[in-house]
Chain A
Amino acid sequence: DAGVTQSPTHLIKTRGQQVTLRCSPKSGHDTVSWYQQALGQGPQFIFQYYEEEERQRGNFPDRFSGHQFPNYSSELNVNALLLGDSALYLCASSDTGAATLSYNSPLHFGNGTRLTVT
């Protein structure tokens, strides 16, 4: 049973370029969340996708966009890259069906994509 897989593992881009990161959720999971983790910091919520729509969004500019496909996999796109976008980008999947009004379905994280912007 595969866990959450992300690709690529590492990426080096130049300021101003665009990047696409990919994520396949854990089998049985229908919800994908994306997080940005700077060195020495906690993960920062970018957005969450469910039923191919953005359900929640954090405090990130419109340069950050995403997509979820019918097979629940997801992409994170970042346009006009800035040096400050250098970070570990984590994808986390969960099962919305297992959640209730008070109980969250736990997040299962992938190993992340290390993005370096030069």
Chain B
Amino acid sequence: GQQVMQIPQYQHVQEGEDFTTYCNSSTTLSNIQWYKQRPGGHPVFLIQLVKSGEVKKQKRLTFQFGEAKKNSSLHITATQTTDVGTYFCAGQGGTDSWGKLQFGAGTQVVVTP
């Protein structure tokens, strides 16, 4: 079945630095979504990517969907303490699995002031 893997599992970042987290699927995806979960909170939707090679930006966050629609990345520039949390990618397979989002294990981000 479809598997979604994320690396790294943990990311310690100095405030002001950049970092990237990666998401890889074992199968081709229809689309991919990214969520952020603050400590003690629930996942909050960030963005959805649908097209091959798509790039979307949200202020300091840049999301990319691979050409083969099997991988994605999230790049954060000039990290701030508000970026602390766990970032999950969630992949949507083909039409037979519509609605069944497969989450990765997440990248836990810790920011040092």
For B31, the chain A residues whose CB sits under 8 A away are 102-104
Report Cα–Cα, A40/B9, bound state, in Å.
10
Number of B positions contacting A (CB below 8 A): 27
From A15-23, A42-50, A77-85, the one touching the partner chain is: A42-50
How far, in angstroms, from A59 to B43 measured CA to CA in the complex? 21
B78-100 contact mask (Cβ, 8 Å, vs A): 1 or 0: 00000000001010100101111
List of A residues within 8 angstroms of B42 by Cβ: 90, 109-112
Question: Which A residues fall within an 8 A CB radius of B?
Answer: 31, 33, 35, 40-45, 48, 50, 55-59, 90, 92, 101-104, 106-112
B residues neighboring A (CB under 8 Å): 1, 6, 30-31, 33, 35, 41-45, 48, 50, 88, 90, 92, 95, 97-106
